[in-house]
Chain A
Amino acid sequence: MIGGLFIYNHKGEVLISRVYRDDIGRNAVDAFRVNVIHARQQVRSPVTNIARTSFFHVKRANIWVAAVTKQNVNASMVFEFLLKVTDCMQSYFGKVSEENIKNNFVLIYELLDEILDFGYPQNTDTGVLKTFITQQGIRTQTKEEQAQITSQVTGQIGWRREGIKYRRNELFLDVLEYVNLLMSPQGQVLSAHVAGKVVMKSYLSGMPECKFGINDKIIMEAKGKPSADESAARTGKTAIVIDDCQFHQCVKLSKFETEHSISFIPPDGEFELMRYRTTKDISLPFRVIPLVREVGRTKMEVKVVVKSNFKPSLLAQKIEIRIPTPLNTSGVQLLCMKGKAKYKASENAIVWKIKRMGGMKESQLSAEIELLQTDTKKKWTRPPISMNFEVPFAPSGFKVRYLKVFEPKLNYSDHDVIKWVRYIGRSGLYETRC
């Protein structure tokens, strides 16, 4: 299991060092600094073996978080744990920065003591941790409170405490989708998938049982609903094919497997209910059509057309198209029909921003790029044109069909709960090769 956990700043100075096992010596801290942080070469692997000791690291911003072990541990668990540690720190004190870590080092040690025992990860749910690891020092707790804490940390429903009360029972569902695309210069889709997640904010009293319904083909067929085609004909909505989905630990997985129903008792507040992935029938909100012409050795002409492809009544926002330019660019002349375009020398790219754009529209940018004569023979590799945007619908066609709430012990029913649903489609890696 994990033998020790270290946190370094970007210079390799130790901020936190906690050793859990006897086989890890003090020199392990230095070994990682010398061999990885100060290594001359770029990091080639997140796992490094130095003298029969294995180091796992994640680097977020300027902070290195490293776990060390001498055993044959479960590597995926170690990384998931390290990511959880950074999440946990973030939820306690915000951004994981050197300053914040130094300011909260006592808290971090306390957390590390709690969530990792002899190298075995324990309950890492921040909602629960916050009930008994506080920055305010010890609060005098009654016996009942203590018992409640311990049963919650170890309990079956480790993510929700008893006795939550709201005057207004309310819940928010955000369907957030990231569209990923790789397109050839000729407009052929090389790969496309949607990575979606459903984020729920629940403000519900008691221990409510929720049932969540979506327009997944398998679920709908299992439910004995009229087959997807029929219902599509009737409602104009089709069921979608979800390749794979994953759920928050509150969802009863065995029930999903046998009955295809998503039921759960939600944590209080915000959490990620499910993640899913689809690859079929994705409506791509935008198409980028590049045209690059190299005119001699010192000039290039670039023309980029962007087309929106969704209902004209909808508006896309925060559109940004990034067109990479060669390293030896000396000057760029730009002309665009809509939005603002700028050449950013420090980023080697033309950045074209459009605030809003309706559906079924088209816009164009042309650029003349002047190049310095260089003697390097190496060709410019033409990185892909990437794009960012946000649209108010789910490109996969994902729909929430219902979310029912039952709380048998308290006197509110499903009808009393105020529910909000919102769909947002964003760009993931949305690239067109040129």
Chain B
Amino acid sequence: MEEEKREKGVILLDFWVSPFSQRLKIAMDEKNVEFECIEEDIPNNKSQLLLKSNPVYKKIPVLIHDGKPICESMVILRYIDEVWPHQAPLLPSDPYSRAIASFWADFIDKKVYDLGTKIWMRSGEVQETAKQELLAVMKTLEGELGEKEFFGGDVFGFVDITLVPFYAWFHAYEIFAKFSFEEECPKIVAWAKRCMQRDSVCKALPEPKKVYEYLLDLKATYNLY
């Protein structure tokens, strides 16, 4: 049986606007991990490499480490933290704190993107309900954040990385559903601004204006008004 030659190094199959991809860029930057970013043409022209590396979901991000693919951003995030544990550990060391961090990251992963999608894609009652639900999610997260600098406490970590890429989408959500995150959940906005002071975060996040324009394009393409 022929052994597949495995390319050494770290490759990230990416799409510029994806908040899921950005989680990984932030994590690897925090850990000074060198990686090569390959931009995929989503959704219409996915590369053979992507389809081969993620046959189950055919989605980005995919991390390819020494030729071996890992899929699903939260799984990849844990992998990155385990393979490069010494610099900028993302999860705390005691099991209970790790479970709590995992819980909140999972909560964010389950809720934010889908509600946000309803906000930009839909209108009327569906949009309004999604807005109310997203604000409720943010208020719950504000409660968890409390007076801490980051969700991880003094240290920027796992939960912060899971949530912060959505900050680039706030502007778009605000325009589509006519509200203000600053008014409704000022602590989250303040936390996001603190995160943006980190190189890893401000390098990874796209400009909010570009996210808004991307969504306008999508709406036009799919005739969503």
Q: Do A and B bind each other?
A: no
